[in-house]
Amino acid sequence: MAAITLKGLKKSYGQAHVIKGVDITIEDGEFVVFVGPSGCGKSTLLRMIAGLEDISAGSLTIGDKVVNDLPPKDRGVAMVFQSYAIFPHMTVRENVAFGLTISGASKEEKDAKVAEAARILQMEHLLDRRPSQLSGGQRQRVAIGRAIVRKPAVFLFDEPLSNLDAALRMDMRMEIGKLHQQLGATMIYVTHDQVEAMTLADKIVVLKDGLVQQIGSPMDLYHRPDNVFVAGFLGSPSMNFLTVDVTEVSGTHATVRNAALDPTSIEIRHPGIVAGGKAKLGLRPQYLNPDDPAGRLHGRVALTERLGSETVIEATLTDGSNLIVALARDAHFPIGQDISLGFDPDMAHLFAA
Amino acid sequence: MMQSNDNHGLRLFLRYLLLVLIAVMFAFPLVFMVMSSFKPDQQLLLDSGNVRAFLPVGDLSFNNYFEAFERAPIGVFIFNSVLVTVVTVVLSLFLCSTAGFAFTFMEWRGRKLAFTIILATLIVPFETIAIPLLLLASKMPWIGFDGLTWGWLNSYRVQIIPFIADGLTIYLFAQYFKDLPGELIEAARVEGASWWQIYRKIVMPLSGPVLATAAILKFLVMYNQYLWPLMVVQQEEYRPVMVGLQYFFQLNIAWGEVMAYLSLITIPVLAFYLYLQKAFIASLASTGVKG
């Protein structure tokens, strides 16, 4: 059993409050990703779970034990660090076996477990090398090997791929995903990369300024963001936001418009939308259609980026705001050309301004 | 192109010339000492005004060495110095590195204040605390083979214990530890290592350079001890080499014997330095912290 519960967790350094009361429940075997911009407290939260940072207030439960005051070694966790943190004076074998050596395991047990970890991570041929003879990706494997060899109940990953180049990052991301399938352990993964978050997570926790913004499955957060921050943080290119006037509210829908937008009825999913007020209309670049003859948004092409399989258009709307359109095909829109964009109102998000 | 090559060659020549001159300046006193130790006093004084002082010429023999051994128990002095120095260096490396470890990695109440006080001791010269320390040492209790005794004078311990821990060595270790990647320590903690295991298995193996530096500095201080042993040791059997030098400056100063004695007591220092220099380079090459 390694469900984890964070209840009212807080962390302060003197007057600086870094984590301001976080409640999260993580089920046994779940892959949870903490995501957020730099300085949002995601790494601090992970380090609090690991026992590397004291908890200022609240309670942290791993399994059925409150572990607030337990040292890291008694929490049953393993951690993979951003800098890999493999011991430079030991061989790969000694690094991977480190935790077992510390716990006094026999040589046979160590050899068997190291061999198994090496097989899972395909690094049998590296075991007698020194860290200085390894590439970045190989070092990361060693760090993961050291984590899995002890069979901990909980794995903690602190931005483990951010030091790798793009191609390697994708490979390792997939491997970590497979590892989770194979081991079935609870994993908490910190990243600022939303692709990692979307692809790996069973559940994403979006953090900002030490507070949870939203918790949910990747698709939940993508399609039903609770607020402007979450809506803007997930998705690439990020969501467009237009300031609109709310002309009418009737039942579950509101009619909005502005200088560039024809009156459109949008479902109200968030509080704070009142007739006569302002609102923010969120439109994902992928859901905007420049070929719609009945387009509701009007503007002019400011820039076109053709990537072959994809085309990104930046349009300047008639109200002066800019908007990004992402098409999943090659298309040519000359700069300066008038453009009308259509969209499905059901895919639009209305937030209080 | 040609001119730039010439310039480069000239610059290189000048640089080496300068380095050779500096090396010669440092080597000359040593060469003078060793050469003179083989010459009779009369020739030594005659040669000292010219270049022959640095050359193995004239009436060379080991006589000065034989006479030096007759004049003073040199073996005892060297043994005492090496014993006191080696024991102090070993204990100091252990104690000061554990202190530096506690100051750098562990959180405890009063840590900053304690470190500040230790740093403050760096600016207190030994001479100012010599007398209080002497009084203290003369009254300290000790439990040994003879049971409980009072006063540490005339012993090895009085030459060792006051010098085991010092601010500079603790500071050296603390500074070095601060530059070790913190995530290594955290990784070891998560892996279940105790503080002692982290110290022994992670921090110490990565501390070759600072261990060598601290050992050399401590060795030099201890081997060159003069004032303190002069104050606390009256018996010949505990006397170190520097105090032993007095034996050669009594009624008639025999310069050849002085040089022979100095040559002899330089050997342990050179041996220690050469040994550590090797260890120093090896530790730098094997750790590979960078990367």
Answer yes or no: is pLDDT of B279 > 70: no
Interfacial A residues in 72-111 facing B (CB < 8 Å): 72-73, 77-79, 81-83, 85-89, 98-99, 102-103
Q: Quote the DSSP letter at residue B117.
A: H
B150 shares a domain with B106:
yes
Q: Which residues in chain A are contacts of B188 at CB distance < 8 A?
A: 87, 98
Using alpha carbons, select from B284, B269, B275 the residue that is nearest to residue B81. B269
Q: Convert the pLDDT of each residue in A224-270 to its tens digit.
A: 999 999 999 998 899 999 999 999 998 899 999 999 999 999 999 99
Answer yes or no: is pLDDT of A101 > 60: yes
> CB B183 to CB A82 under 8 A?
yes
Residue B79 lies in a domain: yes
- Residue B5's Cβ-side half-sphere holds a number of Cα atoms within 13 Å equal to 2
Residue A61, strand partner residues: A5, A66
> CB B190 to CB A71 under 8 A?
no
The partner residue sitting opposite A81, judged by closest CB among B187, B192, B287, is B187
What's the ipTM?
Answer: 0.84
Pairing of strands A154-158, A186-191: parallel
Q: What are phi and psi of A288, to 5 degrees?
A: -100, 135
pLDDT tier for residue B3 given thresholds of 50, 70 and 90:
low
What's the rounded mean pLDDT across residues A323-338? Answer: 92
B51: containing domain = 1-61
* B279 Cβ neighbours under 8 A, 6+ residues apart: B208, B212
CA distance B207 to chain A (A): 11
Contact present, A278 and A245 (Cβ < 8 Å): yes
Interfacial B residues in 180-199 facing A (CB < 8 Å): 181, 183-184, 186-194, 197
Render B150-174 in DSSP notation, one character per residue: E---SSSHHHHGGGTS-HHHHHHHH
A57 shares a domain with A84:
yes
Tell me, what CATH number does B105's domain have?
Answer: 1.10.3720.10
Q: Which residue of B lies nearest to A47 if distances are taken between CA atoms?
A: B186
A198 shares a domain with A105:
yes
A15: containing domain = 4-233
CA distance B119 to chain A (A): 26
* Longest CA–CA separation in chain A, Å: 75
A51 touches B at CB < 8 Å:
yes
Q: Convert the pLDDT of each residue in A28-52 to its tens digit.
A: 999 999 999 999 999 999 999 999 9
Answer yes or no: is pLDDT of B287 > 50: no
A83 shares a domain with A16:
yes
Q: Convert the pLDDT of each residue in A167-190 to its tens digit.
A: 888 888 998 999 999 889 999 999
Q: Which residue of A lies nearest to B183 if distances are taken between CA atoms?
A: A85
First vs last C-alpha separation in chain A: 44
Q: Single out the residue in A233, A263, A292 at which a domain terminates.
A: A233
| Structure token digits, residue A194 | 């939303």
Pairing of strands A240-250, A311-317: unpaired
B93 shares a domain with B47:
no
A63 touches B at CB < 8 Å:
no
Mutate to test the interface with B, among A94, A96, A102 (most CBs of B within 10 A): A102
Q: Residue B149: enclosing H or E segment and its boundaries?
A: strand B147-150
Does the CA dihedral A45-A48-A53-A56 come out positive or negative? Answer: positive
What's the rounded mean pLDDT across residues A305-323? Answer: 93
CA distance A49 to chain B (A): 11
What's the rounded mean pLDDT across residues B28-42? Answer: 92
B226 shares a domain with B253:
yes
Q: Single out the residue in A233, A263, A290 at which a domain terminates.
A: A233
Distance, in Å, from the CA atom of B169 to the CA atom of B239, rounded to the nearest integer, reads 25
| Structure token digits, residue B202 | 């992670």
- The pLDDT score that the predictor gives to residue A81 is 93
Residue B236 lies in a domain: yes
A228 shares a domain with A211:
yes
How many domains does chain B contain in total? 2
| Structure token digits, residue B183 | 């995530």
Answer yes or no: is pLDDT of B2 > 70: no
Q: Single out the residue in B42, B61, B80 at which a domain terminates.
A: B61
Using alpha carbons, select from A245, A290, A267 the residue that is nearest to residue A348. A267
Pairing of strands A278-283, A253-257: unpaired
Residue B39 lies in a domain: yes
Residue B128 lies in a domain: yes
B160 shares a domain with B129:
yes
CA distance B177 to chain A (A): 15
Q: Measured at the alpha carbon of residue A37, what is the angle toward residues A36 and A43, in degrees to the nearest 5?
A: 65
The partner residue sitting opposite A78, judged by closest CB among B186, B190, B289, is B190
